[in-house]
Amino acid sequence: MVVKPNTTPDLEPLRELIRHHIESFDYLVDKGLEIVFQSIKGVHVHDSFINKNLRNILYNSSVLFFCIKGFPPLSMSKMCRQAKISYTGSLKADVYFQWDGGAPIAQEFDFGQFPIMLKSKLCHLRDADPQKLVSRREESSEMGGYFILNGLERVVRLLILPKRNYPMSMVRNSFSDRREGYTDKAVVIRCERKNQTSVTVKLYYLRNGSARLGFWIQGREYLLPVGVVLKALIDTTDHEIYESLTCCCSERDERDKGAVATQLVGERAKIILDEVRDLSLFTRLQCLEHIGEHFQPVMDGLENECYSAVAKAVLEEYIFVHLDNNYEKYNLLIFMLQKLFSLVDQTSVPDNPDSLQNQEVLLPGHLITIYLKEKLEDWLNRAKKLLQDEINNKSKNFDFCNLTHVKKVLDKNPSKQISSAVENMLKTGRLVSKSGLDLQQRAGFTVQAERLNFLRFLSHFRAVHRGASFAGLRTTTVRKLLPESWGFLCPVHTPDGEPCGLLNHMTSNCRVTSYFDSEGDIRDFEKIRRDIRSFLIGAGMMSPQPMLVKVGPPKFLSVLIDGHVVGSVSSNLVEDVVANLRRSKVSTDTMIPHDLEVGYVPLSLGGAFPGLYLFTSPARFVRPVRNALSPFEKGQNIELIGPFEQVFMEIRCPDGSDGGRRNAFPATHEEIHPTGMLSVVANLTPWSDHNQSPRNMYQCQMAKQTMAFSSQAIHFRADQKLYHLQTPQTPIVRTSAYTRYGIDEFPTGTNAIVAVLAYTGYDMEDAMILNKSSVERGLCHGQIYQTETIDLSDQGSRSERSQKMFRRSNVDKSMHSLIDSDGLPYVGQMIRPNDPYCCIYDEVTSSTKTNKRKGSEPVIVDYVAVDVKNKKPLQKVNIRFRHPRNPVIGDKFSSRHGQKGVCSQLWPDIDMPFSGVTGMRPDLIINPHAFPSRMTIAMLLESVAAKGGSLKGKFVDATPFASSVKKANVEAESEYCSLKKADGGTGSKPGLLVEELGEMLKEKGFNYHGVEVLYSGVYGTELTCEIFIGPVYYQRLRHMVSDKFQVRSTGTVDQITRQPIKGRKFGGGIRFGEMERDSLLAHGAAYLLHDRLHTCSDYHIADVCSLCGSILTTSFLQHQKRAVREIGGLPPARAPKKVTCHACQTSKGMETVAMPYVFRYLAAELAAMNIKMSLQLSDGA
Amino acid sequence: MDGGLTYQRFPKVKIREMRDDVVKFELRETDASVANALRRVMIAEVPTVAIDLVEIEVNSSVLNDEFIAHRLGLIPLTSERAMSMRFSRDCDACDGDGQCEFCSVEFQLRARCHNDQTLDVTSKDLYSSDHTVVPVDFSDPNEPAEQRGIIIVKLRRGQELKLRAIARKGIGKDHAKWSPAATVTFMYEPMIRINEDLMETLSLEQKNTWVESSPTKVFDIDPVTQQVVVVDPEAYTYDDEVIKKAESMGKPGLVEIEAREDSFIFTVESTGAIKASQLVLNAIEILKQKLDAVRLSEDTVEADDQFGELGAHMRGG
């Protein structure tokens, strides 16, 4: 693993990691918008007065095109970041107007500035190579996938959704609360239309044996008897319905393996049919009219249609919307009923909605699509209302038949707000929607893509959130790590604490299917489904003819393609069919897409409902595994599998063993590499397989808060805060992921010589000692770049433009050393706290105002960027400051093994222990107690390996689980040699890792175990035991004392209580709370307690009237102005204060008492409630 | 002397190897405190000259000002003069502002890249006002090829670096940049005694494995007599490997290794600021000065009663 400079790193693996973001947006641009526009129904406006109709159709021609907004296109995205504006293009579409069925007239509308995802098809960086990217002031490895909104980079968070078009059986207590008679069982299907909007349909089971179909319209759930729907869908007879429902039960099979139906099904079928009869609905038309009658009020735009048309619209728009044929819907409903009954009869188990098996993901492009559709519909509806109002007003100037007049009215409903609504959604992550878009949450859809370091940035694109609604749940079930997510979600990379288990990260291998095929063409899903169907029929599937007598499990299995019942396969045949499908899946020359999910649920005794479920849809998780049965050449046998099918597959580990399955279930597939189950960040931990697992989790967290080399284009960025490590290094001990993902472009730490010993006592309790000289030579030096944006145009009132400008005051010369004549600071100038850094001149008041630095540390002006877009005078300025942040006591560091520590001393070099042989002094000392309980063996290995590696001048490969692949290498060498073989230090030598590393050291004359004899730096004598010492890659974490320390002697106090205020920013104190008080009490430290809580807080001397006991009625007596003789320039002697009690009208009983000021406040508050507090004073005891 | 116990000893130094940058010598007849004191002084208290103040006029390079200043500071400068120079803090010629010829050396650096090739700004581009204080030249005079000094920063077309730097005298205790020593280390001279009788009980193969057990080449087997001989006692790192090996072979006491408490083998490696040999001499000089400071201090006289003989010893008695 030799790092060659000057070779452009292969960025493809990195691109692959965020492909799903870009592809989903690309689809929106390519096709999604077109489909949305087509699927929006036009609105009709009827002028009853002149009896004319207007049909307003929204239809696009050229939908979105990129328009340059007046700044040089060369560095557009960079400009957006600097100028704090959004990276957008204009969205234009044709709106058609049609009067009374005449020829439609197209009219172009500008729908405003639509946010554009970086590196998407609309972005100017789309096909830029690294060189071009650099010339455009971007990162050379820029991957895009995010939006720039107001200069901030935001990513759409991937959200878990229920798998589309798959009927899922569920048991939930809330179902039984729906209405009287409902049970907790239902079959739920989330149906997705072509335009990516979805409707969830639930089929509830009733206690009487019947079922209800529930779906939501405008925030209300409507429940229909299933029989009515069945009959309304197609012309059918009771007999047929009965036959279809009971097809899967025969008395013979009932006890057989895989039987799903019991005799009760027949009873239930009868009940369902009876229900319909009780409603005296017999024909399809009657059913339709029954439905239509109930739904007419809620269906927009169908007020004047007949009932059956309304009913048809309901069936079309709300029931099984992924299917467009009523026969197909009928078949699916029958299937769902069978599944429901099987669930009720406990012949199959409910599907787990928390399992990845039944989930897919919400992609940015899809979210925007559905949001945009709703906004467009809203716009049309508002337009309609405006026109209708105008007609009803019968205003003279309005001619309904005149396009310009109509347009003028429509202008009241600005079309530009469509894009700004989308922009706002991305800016805030909040959906402003009436319908809720069939999503579980309203907020939290986007997050800021922080560039704290590259790993954190990258993780934003790989993170998958379970949904905000689950965060509040008290149960931990949704957070559990389920075996179904193996290989798709990283078990290591999830945060600790509140979002634990809800915010997961995709593994490095995991991909998300998209609308694009491998060639980059948009897929024709219709055709793909047809192809699969004909393939299946060729393989022996029977097409469903609703009239035929059907057969169900265990003899026949239903086949569903994307929620469409396409037929059934004999259970004897199904294994072959599946094998056949898989074979064609991996082969290149078939029509079967390579990411088809072949969810074959086999017959079982009370397991999951059997069937063959095929999924072609986008937004599914997939990951590559090797098809062991496939006869194809090496590298050609990679199969993409999904979480649904994975559960029923036999996948072995690549260590060559059978994983204990013996011959019972021969493995059909094999993992490519065990590291595939880890996320990118988790893959960077060397030998993570030797660590205690929580330590790897901590490392994933800490890697993301490391102060690292965050950006190569740091000079052109205007982030609010950017951490930067001055002298980063690439780790000596590295995993293969470092090279694969080009992490060396953004290194995160330094190789420090670490000695493990208890020295001086300053390394207790996870503290660590840094060598002062090492720090002085540049170890872990760093800066924080902080940008202040000053925009004069949006300050204060917007009455007159350019009333403020940057200009230096000529009167006050004191600031001239800091501020140049243009009112801005000199670049390179150091600015201390409370120094001015820019000067603003107000023309109206003709006064100057300076902006002063806050905080407690001096900063250096790094860069001043001005916005010269709108000529003179200068209005917008970015000033970037540089905070030098070299290591000091209290800064936090960590190794890559979850071993964090705080620097407790910068210890002089000469006092550090040294090696007699090499003279080497450690850079860093940690305490040996950090190891026994944490068991981070990999850190010890890293130390030994890095020592050997640095002696040999070679990087050491520390890819976890390498040994379990190597073994297979010996057995079936040809299989794996194409794959990244462990290179570098760990050669092909068999044996233990430790032995290899030990030998490496011994070869170079060092101790086998990595220990060395050290001498005390203070005494020059040999330390009594040998010390474990070697280089370990250390990360500097962003938590620094300079940002956190809080001290106060005296300072601002609260207005009301006169107690010190809180908050570091305001120079407040640290709360001395109840528990602190308790501990002082326990120590009996009464004086200290009094000091903390009283003297240093709101000490107050109050005048109390001992006669009435009041502290509120006292007041100072106004002195008669007595001429006080001034003595020799001294200030006049303070006259003794005369205090009286208002209530007693005397000053006789006045005493002074020391008390907390809040006590006086309490007395005042009580007095406000008409409660008098009186103090009884006594002397002494 | 009064015939009492005397602490005075006369350490001996034997130089083994002397090059410009490396010196190896033996220090005998003294104890660890002296050896370590010498080591500590060499690292932290021998003065050198290093760039301490940088005034940046133009810097359009990719590195920020502090970074460049820090890099400049770490460039070793030839500091033969350092011992005779003044610390700028107690220089009376310039009232301590540290800009006079007695306590400082000025450097100029002007570099600008005019063509498309990246320009390396190196320590060679630093122009000194004093020809005795210049950046250390590591290049081999026989091979003047591509050795261009220590790189400070790389410039692209149009980038410029222009600065004035002031080098001052200082010691490594204040900042590592003033440390003249790359490495100073000493080890106790080992005394290795092989128990020949016990050794003879071993077979040749056993001897071989035993010899191999030491990570460094301390022992060897005489090809003629097949006896184990000590070839390089100083290669021994006190790792106890051979002793552990002997124990595991069931032959404890096969070899006895002792550290001689009064002999030290020093390795001194210089950064190039001063010659390694000079570094040692300077260190001794400074150590002397420090002892003088103790001896002459009034506190020492007062503390005489406490120290008794030792006090007399310190005064040179």
DSSP A684: G
Tell me the longest C-alpha to C-alpha distance in chain A: 123
Q: φ, ψ for residue A1167 (rounded to 5)?
A: -60, -35
- A77 or A926, greater pLDDT: A926
Residue A1028 is assigned to a structural domain of this protein = yes
Comparing C-alpha atoms, which of A269, A275, A274 is closest to residue A223? A275
**Residues on chain B touching A1025 (C-beta within 8 angstroms):** none
| pLDDT band (50, 70, 90) for residue A872 | low
pLDDT band per the 50, 70, 90 thresholds, residue A969: very low
Q: Does B183 contact A918 at a Cβ distance shorter than 8 Å? A: yes
| Lowest-confidence region among A364-368, A482-486, A603-607 | A603-607
* pLDDT of residue A457 exceeding 60: yes
Instruction: Judge if A301 and A212 occupy the same domain.
Output: yes
SS3 track for A425-469: HHHHCCCCCCCHHHCCCCCCCEEECCCCCHHHHHHHHHEEECCHH
Whether residue A676 lies inside any domain: the answer is: no
A contact set with B (CB within 8 A): 715, 726, 772-774, 776-778, 781, 783, 828, 860, 862, 882, 884, 908-910, 914-920, 1001-1002, 1005-1008, 1011-1013, 1015, 1017-1022, 1026
- This complex has an ipTM of 0.89
- Residues shown for chain A: 1181
pLDDT at position A976, please? 36
User: What is the β-pairing status of strands A611-615 and A556-561?
Assistant: parallel
- Record: contact B64-A882, CB cut-off 8 A: yes
> Per mean pLDDT, which range of A64-78, A463-477, A870-884 is the poorest?
A64-78
pLDDT number for residue A15: 87
Range of the domain at A544: 524-647
DSSP H helices in A345-416: 364-393, 403-410
Predicted model pTM: 0.87
Q: Are residues A30 and A117 in the same domain?
A: yes
Contacts of B179 in chain A (CB under 8 A): 773, 909
What are A618-643's pLDDT values in tens digits? 899 999 988 877 665 655 688 889 99
Mean pLDDT for A216-235 is: 84
Using a pLDDT cut of 70, give the percent of chain A over it: 88
- Is the CB of B32 less than 8 angstroms away from the CB of A920? no
Question: Closest by alpha carbon to B215, among A1012, A1009, A994, A1005?
Answer: A1005
Q: How many CB atoms lie within 10 A of CB A714?
A: 20
Q: What is the CATH number of the domain that holds A907?
A: 2.40.270.10
Convert the pLDDT of each residue in B157-168 to its tens digit. Answer: 999 999 999 998
Which chain B residues are Cβ-neighbours of A137 within 8 angstroms?
Answer: none
Residue A990 clears pLDDT 60, i.e. is over it: no
Residue of A nearest to B38 (CA): A1020
Same domain flag for A149 and A185: no
**Which residue in the set B37, B183, B217 is minimally distant from A919, CB to CB?**
B183
SS3 A1034: strand
Q: What CA–CA distance (Å, rounded) separates A837 from A855?
A: 13
Buried b / exposed e along A509-519 (16+ C-beta atoms within 10 A): bbbbbbbbeee
Residues A856 and A911 in one domain: no
Considering Cα of B75, then B78, then B81, then B82, what sign does the dihedral take? positive
User: What is the arithmetic mean of pLDDT over A308-331?
Assistant: 85
- The whole-number average pLDDT for the span A351-370 is 90
The answer to whether the CB of B122 falls within 8 A of the CB of B150 is: yes
Instruction: Give yes or no for residue A702 having a pLDDT over 70.
Output: yes
Residue A1124 clears pLDDT 60, i.e. is over it: no
Least CB–CB distance from A1007: residue in B184, B217, B239: B239
Same domain (yes/no): A181, A232: yes
Question: What is the per-residue pLDDT for A80?
Answer: 80
Give me the mean pLDDT over the A1009-1015 stretch. 90
Instruction: Say yes or no: A870 and A925 in one domain.
Output: no
Q: Which helix (H) or strand (E) holds B289?
A: helix B276-296
- Residue A845, both tokens: 């008041």
The domain boundary, picked from A1037, A1059, A1074, lies at: A1037
DSSP code of A656? Answer: S
Which residue from A884, A1006, A1020 is facing B66, i.e. has the nearest CB? A884
Of B44, B64, B240, the CB nearest to A910: B44
Mean pLDDT over residues A650-657, rounded? 81
Q: Which of A910, A1002, A1028 to mutate to test the interface with B (most CBs of B within 10 A)?
A: A910
Contacts of A911 (CB under 8 A, 6+ apart): A1017, A1018
Per-residue confidence at B226, pLDDT binned at 50, 70, 90?
A: confident
Spacing of C-alpha B237 from chain mean position: 20
Query: How far is Cα A462 from Cα A737, in angstroms, rounded to an integer?
Result: 15
pLDDT at B108 over 60: yes
Mean pLDDT of chain B: 84
Query: What is the side-by-side order of every strand in the sheet holding A147-149?
Result: A147-149, A152-156, A446-448
Which pLDDT belongs to residue A972?
A: 42
Interface residue ranges in chain B relative to chain A, Cβ cutoff 8 Å: 32-33, 35-37, 39-40, 43-44, 56, 59, 62, 64-67, 70, 74, 172-173, 175-177, 179, 183-188, 215-217, 235, 237-241, 259, 267, 269
| pLDDT value of position A706 | 92
Q: Testing the interface with A: which of B22, B41, B43, B267 to mutate, by most A Cβ within 10 A?
A: B43
Average model confidence (pLDDT) across chain A: 82
pLDDT digits (tens, 9 = 90+) for A679-693: 999 999 999 999 999
Q: Could you say which DSSP state residue A299 is in?
A: S
Show residues of chain A in contact with B239, CB under 8 Å: 1007, 1011-1013, 1026
Q: Report how far residue A195's alpha carbon sits from residue A213's, in angstroms, rounded to the nearest whole number.
A: 23
Domain end, chosen from A869, A884, A899, is at A884
Q: In this structure, what CATH number is given to the domain that contains residue A546?
A: 3.90.1070.20
Domains, chain B, in order of start with CATH, read 48-178 (2.170.120.12), 196-253 (3.30.70)
Asked whether the beta carbons of A263 and A250 are under 8 A apart, the reply is no
pLDDT at A1149 over 90: no
> Which pLDDT value is given to residue B317?
44
Q: Which of A538, A435, A53 is nearest to A221 (CA)?
A: A435
Looking at A538-547, A565-574, A622-631, B54-63, which range is the least confident one?
Answer: A538-547
- The pLDDT confidence band at residue A971, using thresholds 50, 70 and 90, is very low
Question: Burial letters for B21-30: b for 16+ Cβ neighbours within 10 Å, e otherwise?
Answer: bbbbbbbbeb
Res B307: pLDDT: 60
For the residues A1048-1064, what does the mean pLDDT come to?
88
Beta bridge partners of A58: A95
Omega of the bond leading into A873 within 30 degrees of 0 (cis): yes
Q: Does the pLDDT of residue A199 top 80, yes or no?
A: yes
In this structure, the answer to whether residues A593 and A695 fall within a common structural domain is no
Beta bridge mates, B260: B189
Ranked by mean pLDDT, the top range of A543-552, A935-944, A1121-1130 is: A935-944
What's the gap in Å between the CA of B269 and the closest CA on chain A? 10
Task: Indicate whether A708 belongs to any domain.
Answer: yes
Residue A980 has pLDDT above 60, yes or no: no
The pLDDT assigned to B146 comes to: 61
DSSP per-residue string spanning B81-136: GGGGSPPGGG-TTTTTSS-STTTEEEEEEEEE--SSSPEEEEGGGEEESSTTS-B-
- The predicted-structure confidence for A266-316, as pLDDT tens digits, reads as follows 888 888 888 888 888 888 888 888 888 888 888 776 677 788 888 888 888
Specify the higher pLDDT residue, A604 or A22.
A22
Q: What is the pLDDT of residue A73?
A: 40
A chain contacts of residue B245, beta-carbon cutoff 8 Å: none
Say if residue A235 is in the same domain as residue A273. yes
Q: Do A778 and B40 touch (CB under 8 A)?
A: no
What are the chain B neighbours of A884 within 8 Å (beta carbons)?
66
CB A1068 within 8 Å of CB A1048: yes
Whether pLDDT at A893 is above 90: yes
Tell me the mean pLDDT in the region A591-614. 85
Same domain, A1001 and A956: yes
Mean pLDDT of A232-248: 79
pLDDT for the residue A978: 34
Are A153 and A166 contained in the same domain?
no
- Between A48-57, A148-157, B274-283, the lowest mean confidence (pLDDT) is in A48-57
Residue where a domain terminates, one of A429, A450, A471? A450
- In this prediction, residue A8 carries a pLDDT of 58
Per the model's pLDDT, the better-predicted residue between A109 and A58 turns out to be A109
Query: Model confidence at A987, in pLDDT bands (50, 70, 90)?
Result: very low
CATH number of the domain bearing residue A187:
3.90.1110.10
Candidate from B32, B176, B259 with C-beta closest to A1019 = B32
A825 strand-pairing partners: A819
Residue A712 pLDDT grade (very low, low, confident, very high; cuts 50, 70, 90) = confident
- Residue B111 C-alpha, separation from nearest chain A C-alpha, in angstroms: 18
In a domain, A1164, yes or no: no
pLDDT value of residue A723: 92
Reply yes or no on whether the pLDDT at A1120 is more than 70.
no
Whether residue A776 and residue B187 make contact (CB cut-off 8 A), yes or no, is no
In a domain, A72, yes or no: yes
Dihedrals φ, ψ of A430, to 5°? -115, 135
A1103 pLDDT higher than 50: yes
List the beta bridge partners of residue B120: B154
| Interface contact B74-A777, CB threshold 8 A | yes
Is A711 within the bounds of a domain? Answer: yes
Whether residue A197 is found in the same domain as residue A322: yes
- Contact check, Cβ <8 Å, B183/A726: no
Q: How many domains does chain A have?
A: 5
Query: What is the predicted pLDDT for the residue at A1118?
Result: 65
pLDDT more than 90, % of chain A:
23
Question: Is the Cβ pair A773, B172 closer than 8 Å?
Answer: yes
Q: Coil, strand or helix: which one is A1167? A: helix
A819 is a domain residue: yes
Q: Is residue B82's pLDDT more than 90?
A: no
Do A239 and A314 belong to one domain?
yes
> What pLDDT, on a 0 to 100 scale, did the predictor assign at position A245?
79
- B183–A777 CB contact, under 8 Å: no
> Rounded CA gap, A686 and A708, in Å?
18
Residue A73, domain member (yes or no): yes
Q: What is the pLDDT of residue B147?
A: 61
